Amino acid sequence: MSRLPLVCANWKMNHTASEAARFADDFVSRMAAHRDALNESVEIAIAPAHPALDRLGRSLSDSEIHLAAQNLHAEESGALTGEVSLSMLVDLGCRYALIGHSERRQLFGETNEDVAAKALRLQGSAVRPILCVGETLEERESGATLEVVDGQLSAVLDVADGLASDLVVAYEPVWAIGTGRTATPDVAQEVHAALRKVLSKRLGAGADQIRILYGGSVKPSNAGELLSQPDIDGALGGGASLDPEAFASIVLASLEPS
Ligand code: PEP
């Protein structure tokens, strides 16, 4: 089963709306030079901070590059100061939303139940979830990696069981995020294959269509090798994706995995 790779940038709390527009001009022109090769070979998305969504969306409107949100609230509306709802993201034209990023889990106390509620909100909508899962260094060293990621994925599948191929999973080992330390392709593949098994058990043949991205210090120099693994269907990039040249190289690596 061939899955269309997805390469998504997660800018975190970086780039103002003006900087996002400048990035888009540069990045779109780099991608235009590869239009034929890119066409139907890879999907690209960028998740800016919420204040840049509108401006970035306008800058990307003539391109095939999708807009993604970094987060949303599970409630549809209400007295929730500082939060952002699904309908706001739909209105801005978002195609994807990250849920369960490890920074949300670790710094903002999001639980598996919170993440599952967000997935349920996204189910059946125009915005597809990119569910982030991953273990801490302590969990890896204690041999709990597969149990942790299974728990994070299963918590979502228990609640939002109608997501099917709209679901994208991103395996992001916490010890590799922003540390410059990347999982080796073999280590990442092992976890991706285990995640695929969980998906198959729960969803049957439909699991073959679900993309599992790798994230954690992805750079132009390691993207090709990571993306050549059979169960790695794209990348979620943080730091390197802030630079249009580096992000373009990661996207191009998805076309020619080494
Ligand atoms: C991320 O936080 O989603 C990420 C992958 O970050 P980095 O590439 O900087 O490790």
Residue 48 CB less than 6 A away from ligand 1: no
At 172-227, the pLDDT tens digits run: 999 999 888 889 999 999 999 999 999 999 999 889 999 999 999 999 999 999 99
Residue 216 CB less than 6 A away from ligand 1: yes
Q: Which of 47, 98, 218 is nearest to 227 (CA)?
A: 218
Distance CA 5, CA 7 (A): 7
> Which atom of ligand 1 is closest in space to residue 179's alpha carbon?
10
Question: Mean pLDDT, to the nearest integer, of 105-132?
Answer: 98
162 burial (CB, 10 Å; 0-12 / 13-18 / 19+) is exposed
Distance CA 12, CA 172 (A): 14
- Residues in contact with 125: Cβ distance below 8 Å, sequence separation at least 6, in sequence order: 86, 90
Active site residue 110: no
Domain ranges of the chain: 6-253
At 132-175, the pLDDT tens digits run: 999 999 999 999 999 999 999 999 999 998 998 999 999 999 99
CATH architecture of 6-253: Alpha-Beta Barrel (3.20)
Q: CA distances (Å), 1 to each of 40, 158, 231, in order?
A: 16, 25, 11
Q: What is the DSSP code (8-state) at residue 24?
A: H
| Given 43, 103, 139, 172, the catalytic residue | 172
For the record, the structure tokens of 43 come out as 């999907």
Residue 239 CB less than 6 A away from ligand 1: yes
